[in-house]
Chain A
Amino acid sequence: MIYTEFSFPNDMYIYWSLMIVTYPFITGLIAGAFVASALFHVFGRVDLAPINRLALLTSLAFMLCATLPLLNHLGHPERAFNIMITPNFRSAIAGFGFIYTFYLTVLLLEVWLSYRPDIVRAYHSSSGFKKRFWNALALGTHNIGEEALRLDAKVIYVLSVIGLPAACTLHGYVGFLFGSLKSNPWWSTPLMPQVFLLSAVISGMAMLILIYLFLCWSGRAEWSFACLKSMAFFLWLFLVMYIVSEGLEILFFFYESSDAWYVISTLIFDKLWHTFVVLQVGIGVTIPFVLLSYMLVTELKERTFIAFTVISSAVILFEVWMMRWNIVIGGQQFSKSYVGFRDFHPEWLEKEGILPAMLLTLLPLMILMVLLKLFSVRDEAEETKG
């Protein structure tokens, strides 16, 4: 049967707009940065040591802002805490509060333990208000003797081991929020959590690379070409896994050719042609894949390697943002009649508009700048040992 375009009368609005695009983008960066840190702690990739502490601070900065887009989206943010007080455990969203709180606790503990020696040293070398501030951060305990630090290191390892699945759960679960909705053929696929998780890892790593290079350039981080090479290698590895997952997802839709394919093909070849095919796949996936693959098979000069890595990382961040857009917005550009479509043009100044989305994406970076003023990304203890 061939249908003329028809939307159900209530299917007029895109309820999940830029805030819901921003939210998985931010949580993805958290998960990705934590994975980079875990590669060092859990998998013993010592070449990643220079970015380990930066990864933790970046994770924390973004973690502190992860709920803001959601709160701004809610019709009644003042009732948001009900998700934790009276949760419906059958709801995928209800788990968010608990998963978020658990991961935040693990992350805070890991950051605190990692920076405890720095905090105690700052406490001893300061006076007045600053001394009280550092004392508060030290939680009143100033023991940084060898035995205490050895215990800290053990706990950090355990926290990393717990934190890695927690970070993966946090973001895989965001994919589950979408993938578990059988009402929406563009979202309803078991591959959704994997696609979200892998895209999270590449976005977090890409951002970490950019921040790390910026800090090295400004002389605030220890430069290590081996570290950058290692990061670029892992970026390529996770990018390949991500491309395969996303590609398989579309291939499944096409090959099954179920009722849903009419909606999905219209999205891909019409409504999302520019944002999905041209920007996300044509530019966002192709350029970093080609550049990173080329970097792996050829010996490049350091400067060229850095330039290629910067381009790849920046384009990957753009790609992941576009992916969030195409999933979230694309999934609402058709009616539940599956034969009606609509367009979406965000406004700049509305509550969930472009400006608030930009501010909420930049806010974690500002928090990171403050954290970097307080804490060094250089691990002095490790350097002394080295």
Chain B
Amino acid sequence: MRDEAQNRRKFLKACAAAGAAGLWVMLIPRPGAAQRVHHIDPTLQTPDWMDHYYVYVIDLSRCIGCGNCVRACKRENKVSEKFFRTWVERYQVTDEDHVYVESPNGGHDGFTGNVAHGKVTRAFFVPKMCNHCRNTPCTQVCPVHASYQSPEGVILVDKKRCIGCAYCVQACPYGSRFIDPRTHTADKCTWCYHRITRGLLPACVTVCPTNTRRFGDLKDEDDDIRDLIHGARASVLKPDLNTEPFCFYLGFDRAIR
């Protein structure tokens, strides 16, 4: 009986030692780990991360549905053929409150013809994309921090970290995310992060011929987008979900989904 007890004690000691060794392997930083952090290409870093907080404004009364923005986004970001980081919808509302909505090929090729039946009382185009929410459900559900918010308020996906579970796609209420079939990871609009961190505008804003799409910095006191946000009656998509989007719409319509 005593032998058995000793055996058990030996066994438990061995288990404890193995557990401690395992913990040591997992927790103690390996040699070179610290240096590796500093090997990030310095040109990719923005030293003034905290000096910006970006915001996007879409003036619906200006959009003509030309699709320039969708095409520019596709080219700039090499977006997968079947999916869209930004798209344009056309709304036609009749006098009987029938709403006809369409977005053929995401508005990439513009819009032709009239899909509504009855007397159209108002028609307008609605550009859409990731809303870069402050209280974002997509980064909340990402189990490995692959979806995250940059200090400037941009929601990004680390494709080297993403496990492709698609939980973020399910969580996004705006249909802005998709799984890129080429990389099997989540993909979405980044407000052309590679451009804005170099002081350029997102591709879609650059090519918009009617100044429908505006991009600015809330922390820049000279940026007139601050007046636009605070002075105009700006609205957001699905405000009831409390996602606090940073993509604002001017001239919003109750028919917009």
Mark A residues whose CB is within 8 Å of B: 1-4, 6, 8-13, 15-16, 70, 73-77, 79-80, 82-83, 85-88, 90-94, 96, 139-143, 145, 148, 177, 181-184, 332, 335-339
Shortest beta-carbon distance from B104 to chain A in Å:
9
A3, A76, A94 pick with most chain B CB within 10 angstroms: A76
A1–B255 Cα gap in the complex (Å)? 8
Known pairs A8-B103, A88-B145, A182-B241; A82 contacts B161 (CB<8 A): yes
- Interface flag for B162 (CB, 8 Å): yes
- For B45-71 the 0/1 string (1 means CB < 8 A from A) is 000000000000000000000000000
A183–B238 Cα gap in the complex (Å)? 10
- Interface flag for B216 (CB, 8 Å): no
| Chain A residues closer than 8 Å to B175, beta-carbon distance | 8-11, 335-337
| Chain B residues closer than 8 Å to A77, beta-carbon distance | 163
Whether the Cβ atoms of B163 and A6 lie closer than 8 Å is no
| Chain A residues closer than 8 Å to B89, beta-carbon distance | 6
Known pairs A1-B255, A15-B169, A75-B164; A183 contacts B145 (CB<8 A): no
Given A75-B163, A140-B11, A339-B257, 13 additional A-B pairs, CB 8 A: A2-B98, A4-B99, A4-B100, A4-B115, A9-B84, A9-B103, A10-B176, A76-B163, A80-B163, A88-B142, A91-B143, A145-B1, A183-B173
A11 to chain B: closest residue by CB = B175
- Interface flag for B222 (CB, 8 Å): no
Whether the Cβ atoms of B241 and A183 lie closer than 8 Å is yes
**Listed stretches B34-42, B178-186, B199-207, B228-236; interface member:** B178-186
One of B4, B87, B98, B241 near A142 (C-beta < 8 A): B4
- Interface flag for B172 (CB, 8 Å): yes
Whether the Cβ atoms of A90 and B140 lie closer than 8 Å is yes
Whether the Cβ atoms of B170 and A12 lie closer than 8 Å is no
One of B93, B128, B144, B166 near A87 (C-beta < 8 A): B144
Task: Tell me if A's interface is mostly helix, strand, loop or mixed.
Answer: loop
| Chain A residues closer than 8 Å to B115, beta-carbon distance | 4
Shortest beta-carbon distance from B179 to chain A in Å:
6
Closest 3 CB pairs of A and B: A75-B164, A75-B184, A8-B175
Whether the Cβ atoms of B103 and A93 lie closer than 8 Å is no
A6–B106 Cα gap in the complex (Å)? 12
- Interface flag for B120 (CB, 8 Å): no
Enumerate 5 A-B pairs (CB-CB under 8 Å) in ascending A order. A16-B166, A76-B164, A79-B161, A82-B143, A83-B163
Whether the Cβ atoms of B166 and A86 lie closer than 8 Å is no
Shortest beta-carbon distance from B155 to chain A in Å:
14
Known pairs A4-B100, A15-B179; A183 contacts B171 (CB<8 A): yes
- Interface flag for B141 (CB, 8 Å): yes
One of A4, A83, A145, A332 near B143 (C-beta < 8 A): A83
